[in-house]
Amino acid sequence: MSLPINQIIVGDCLEVMKDWPDNCVDLVLTDPPYNVGVDYGNGYDDNKDNFVEWATGWFTECRRVSATVLITGQARLPDYALIERWKWLLTWWKPAAMGRSPVGFCEWEPIAMWGKGSSAGQPDVIRAPIIPQKDTGSHPCPKPLYWALGQLKRFPKANVVVDPFCGSGTTCVAAKMLGRRYIGIDISEEYCEITRQRLEAVDTGVPVKEQRKGQQALFPKDNQ
């Protein structure tokens, strides 16, 4: 089957990926739900009693379709380690982070990697400050752009990048900015639409806020 390259898909990632061939993408980069009761506003149950069973399902599919999987695991890294021990860890440093996240981290968070890849000769800290973002809509946990850019740059040969919990689309936007191909999946139509608008802004230069007001690109895309 042909992959939905450069598309944003509304649906359950487990169902979307189940028919994909083995090892068909280069990298999975995602920040899954924390399972601590965060209100995503889309009907998603973020308080699962069977979290490890649920995570095992989609994680196994990610490992099947991709050579490398990167997860910002938060307090759930021990749960993922029950499924498969990670190869190495990165640190996401959030300079001047204020307050406290729902899982207890403030100025840093771990990022785990499974599969191919190495941290040899590369920094193991990704600096990505938490700053207000005006283009991520109502998403409660949007990631800063350099959270994704910093990880993607470590894998220059990862030409097809998948985010099975794409949320407001930071992974896909970063992939497009770097000239990579992407596939984003999210169960929320609202968040998928936000992601599409952010991707369009990369092409047109018209911010999402202005798109919503009806502003068009100064030069049509076909003429650029």
Query: pLDDT digit string (tens) for 172-183?
Result: 999 999 999 999
Digit-coded pLDDT (tens) for 184-223? 999 999 999 999 999 999 998 766 555 654 555 544 454 3
The residues with which 8 forms a beta bridge, in sequence order, are 184
| CATH, domain range 7-223 | 3.40.50.150
pLDDT of residue 63: 97
pLDDT of residue 160: 98
DSSP output for 8-31: EEES-HHHHHTTSPTT-BSEEEE-
Using alpha carbons only, give the angle 86, 88, 92 rounded to the nearest 5 degrees.
110
Model-level pTM?
Answer: 0.86
Residue (of 166, 117, 128, 130) closest to 150 by Cα position: 128
Please, is 182 exposed, middle or buried when counting C-beta atoms within 10 Å of its C-beta (0-12, 13-18, 19+)?
A: buried
Q: In this structure, is the dihedral angle defined by the CA atoms of residues 35, 41, 44 and 45, taken in order, positive or negative?
A: positive
